[in-house]
Structure 1
Amino acid sequence: MKEKTHLVRNRCLFSIVIIVIYFVCHRIPLNGIDMSAYDNLGLDLGAVLSLAVNGSNKQCYVMSLGISPYITASLVISILFAMRSKEARARTSPKAMNYWITALTFIVTLIQSVFYALNLKYVDRNVMSVLLVIFELMAGASIAQYLLMKNKKYGVGGFAPIIMVNMTETLVGTLMKSSIDVLRIPLGISFVMVVIMIFMEMHEKKIPLQRVSVHNVHADKNYLAIKYNPVGFMALMFGSAIFMIPQLIVALIHHYHKSEIVNFLYKNLNMSTVFGMRVYVVMLFLFTVLLSLLFVNPKDLSDDLLQGGDCIENIPAGKPTRRYIRKWVLFFSCLSGLIMCGCLSLCMYLQYKGIVDASVAMLPTTFMLLSGFICSIYLEIRAYRDFDSYKPFI
């Protein structure tokens, strides 16, 4: 009898090595930057969203871009891919997908590097110092992407361990600098949100199926699963990037045309105003629903059932099945969107009213993101453990 593969142990050890390497490298400062200008930055909404995909909320390190360019490119290509017909997706090879993701990653990395470099504070600002910082940012993003790709292939959690390093480091620093009185309300909200999000991440709606190819004792175990949180925290991670689109449009219009409405939008469409916060929350909710319908596509699911001769119990095949699946996808996407947007709205309200200190107001959102990443890593480890539990006998 062959020995076990020890898949869980080997993958977890590999991820630990990746985390150590990233932890050592991600605090290397950029050359020529005035580091004193980036001390004592609080954990506001922008910082939380930055930590979700970047190396740090402080844009003064070599790995400040983190894995943001790669994840952004992957999301854009995945959305475009999901919008294509089922036949067109079947004709697209994984190699072609990787090619387009890599090409778009390079473009996003270059644009973000230039944008970051132009907005940094230098000890001695000149053309060469800016160009050097652009090169360092692109190199740091490439190293972070390389570690991400290796962890996806040989480790566990994909990009989650790298993100957790960033968030945990800043979170620990924030908790250490804050008193118990200041933390009481944020930690109470955080506990409630963590319980809710773990429940939604670990549970799914099981829709019973009738499969024509299964006629045994296991026939009653066939079902279509829809997770309570269909797309996880993908919308929250990229909400700030989506929010930039109307900001850029308004800024462009304001440059050529200055009316009363345009001036109002130009001044208030940002996260420092109540109007901007409301717009952001609404856009985040709509983005959550849109992503759910794209990645848990009711049409594709109903077509797959129809082609296989299977059906949902007591639901006719075809359009009725599609409407039934769409109903549940919309229900759970709206539910998860309301919970995430509700948490964000509460945090922003407490900060705006001065009830909670700005440095700790976004702790519930941070804990909510961390709980989601931990759940995804746990589920992946459990899958590898189940695989590893089967002992080969040939």
Structure 2
Amino acid sequence: MKEKTHLVRNRCLFSIVIILIYFVCHRIPLNGIDMSAYDNLGLDLGAVLSLAVNGSNKRCYVMSLGISPYITASLTITILQAVRSKESRARTSPKSLNYLITGLFFCVALIQSIYYALDLIYINRDIMSILVVIFELMAGACIAQYLLMKNKKYGVGGFAPIIIVNMTETLVGILMKSSLDALRIPLAISFVMVIIMIFMEMHEKRIPVQRVSVHNVHAEKNYLAIKYNPVGFMAIMFGSAVFMIPQVIVAVLHNFFNSNEYISWLYLNLNMSRLFGMCVYIVLMFAFSVLLALLFINPKDLSDNLLQTGDCIEGIPAGKATRRYLRKWVLIFSFISGGIMCGCLSLCLYLQYQGIVDATVAMLPSTFMILSGFICTLYLEIRAYRDFDSYKPFI
């Protein structure tokens, strides 16, 4: 009898090594930066994405870009693939997708590096210092991507362990600097939201499917699964990036039509410090979460796949009826999960806007929501590897 594979142990150990390497590397300061100017930065809404994919809302480290360029490139290509026809997607090889993601990664990393470098505070600001910082930021992003790819291949959780380390490290720093009175309300909301999010991440709607190729006792265990939280926390992670689109459009219009009072009003109010900007952000977040659910869990593709294989949902005719039935459940769960997420964000923004909660800790509930979602994902993957490892080969 052969030995067990020890898949869980080996993959977890590899991820721990990746985490240790990343933990050391992502605190190397950039050359020529005035580090004293970045000592007392707090946590705000704009830092939620930075916490997850960059590791800090400070931009003074070599790996300040973190895995943000790679995740942005991957999400963009995934969305573009989702809106293409099924035949077009089938003609695109995984190797071609990797080339597209890598090319877009370098473009995003270069743009972000230039943007970060121009906004930093230098000891001696000159063109050479800026170029060196751009090169260091690009190199740091490449190292982060390399660690991420190795962890996806040999470790557990893909990019989840790196994001968990990023968020945990920064959250510990925020919690240590804040008083108990300032944390009481955010932590209470966080506790409730974590329970709700864990429940939604760990449960799914199972739609029974009749398989033409299965005619035994296992036929009863065939189903399509739709998670209560269809897209996890992708919407909240990239909500800030989505909100930047109307901000950039309004800023460009204001540059050419600064005398127009409506455009000037939008320019002044379309930000997270104004009530109008907060409302626009919440609406965009809800719409983005529903859109991602329909793209990632495509009812048309699911119904077409069932039709091609001759399978069907119990009690539902094949074709358009199946598509409508699946779309209904995807919309129901995306509306519920998006509503809960946006409700939490609305409460956090309201408490911050009214001055009830300090801005440095107001967004802790949303951060804990993201963190709990990634921990659930990591747990489910480890459990799958453990189940695989429990089988002892006998041939």
Relative to the length of structure 1, the TM-score reads: 0.99
Which segments of 5 or more consecutive residues in structure 2 lack a partner in the other structure?
none
SS state at 1:218 partner: helix
SS state at 1:63 partner: coil
Which segments of 5 or more consecutive residues in structure 1 lack a partner in the other structure?
none
SS state at 1:368 partner: helix
How far 1:179 moved relative to its partner? Answer: 2.1
Partner of 1:372 in structure 2? Answer: 373
Partner of 1:84 in structure 2? Answer: 84
Alignment of 1:349-360 (within 5 A): 349-360=350-361
Alignment of 1:241-390 (within 5 A): 241-258=241-258, 259-390=260-391
Alignment of 1:198-217 (within 5 A): 198-217=198-217
How far 1:37 moved relative to its partner? Answer: 1.4
Structure 2 contact 53–166 (Cα < 8 Å) conserved = no
Structure 1 contact 56–66 (Cα < 8 Å) conserved = no
Structure 1 contact 63–140 (Cα < 8 Å) conserved = yes
Give distance in 1, aligned partners of 2:94 and 2:316: 35
**Aligned residue identity for 1:148:** L
Structure 1 contact 53–68 (Cα < 8 Å) conserved = yes
SS state at 1:205 partner: strand
SS state at 2:291 partner: helix
Give distance in 2, aligned partners of 1:55 and 1:177: 17
Give distance in 1, aligned partners of 2:53 and 2:278: 21
User: What are the Cα deviations for residues 231-261 of structure 1, in whole angstroms up to 9, with x where unaligned?
Assistant: 1001111111111111111111111112111
Q: Structure 1: which 4+ aligned runs deviate by more than 3 Å?
A: none
Structure 2 contact 239–285 (Cα < 8 Å) conserved = yes
**Aligned residue identity for 1:109:** A
**Aligned residue identity for 2:115:** F
Alignment of 1:161-200 (within 5 A): 161-200=161-200
SS state at 1:214 partner: coil
Give distance in 2, aligned partners of 1:98 and 1:136: 24
**Aligned residue identity for 1:323:** R
Structure 1 contact 117–133 (Cα < 8 Å) conserved = yes
How far 1:31 moved relative to its partner? Answer: 1.0
Give distance in 2, aligned partners of 1:347 and 1:76: 28
Give distance in 1, aligned partners of 2:319 and 2:389: 39
SS state at 2:226 partner: strand
RMSD: 0.9
Partner of 2:96 in structure 1? Answer: 96
Give distance in 2, aligned partners of 1:251 and 1:304: 45
Give distance in 2, aligned partners of 1:207 and 1:391: 32
**Aligned residue identity for 1:179:** S
SS state at 2:40 partner: coil
How far 1:354 moved relative to its partner? Answer: 1.2
User: What are the Cα deviations for residues 65-112 of structure 1, in whole angstroms up to 9, with x where unaligned?
Assistant: 000000000011110011111111111100000000000000000000
Q: Report sequence identity in percent.
A: 81
**Aligned residue identity for 1:125:** R
Moved more, 268-277 or 371-380: 268-277
Give distance in 2, aligned partners of 1:278 and 1:40: 29
**Aligned residue identity for 1:157:** G
Give the count of matched residue pairs.
394
Structure 1 contact 77–100 (Cα < 8 Å) conserved = yes
SS state at 1:110 partner: helix
Give distance in 1, aligned partners of 2:279 and 2:123: 38
**Aligned residue identity for 1:199:** F
Give distance in 2, aligned partners of 1:36 and 1:48: 23
How far 1:158 moved relative to its partner? Answer: 0.6
User: What are the Cα deviations for residues 160-212 of structure 1, in whole angstroms up to 9, with x where unaligned?
Assistant: 11111111111111111222222111111111000000000000000111111
Partner of 2:53 in structure 1? Answer: 53
How far 1:275 moved relative to its partner? Answer: 1.0
How far 1:55 moved relative to its partner? Answer: 3.2
Moved more, 90-99 or 269-278: 269-278
1:16 corresponds to 2:16: yes
SS state at 2:225 partner: strand
Partner of 1:123 in structure 2? Answer: 123
Partner of 1:106 in structure 2? Answer: 106
Structure 2 contact 204–228 (Cα < 8 Å) conserved = yes
Give distance in 1, aligned partners of 2:46 and 2:84: 33
SS state at 1:207 partner: strand
Give distance in 2, aligned partners of 1:134 and 1:273: 33
Give distance in 2, aligned partners of 1:311 and 1:67: 41
SS state at 2:4 partner: coil
Structure 1 contact 239–284 (Cα < 8 Å) conserved = yes
Structure 2 contact 55–170 (Cα < 8 Å) conserved = no
Moved more, 69-78 or 54-63: 54-63
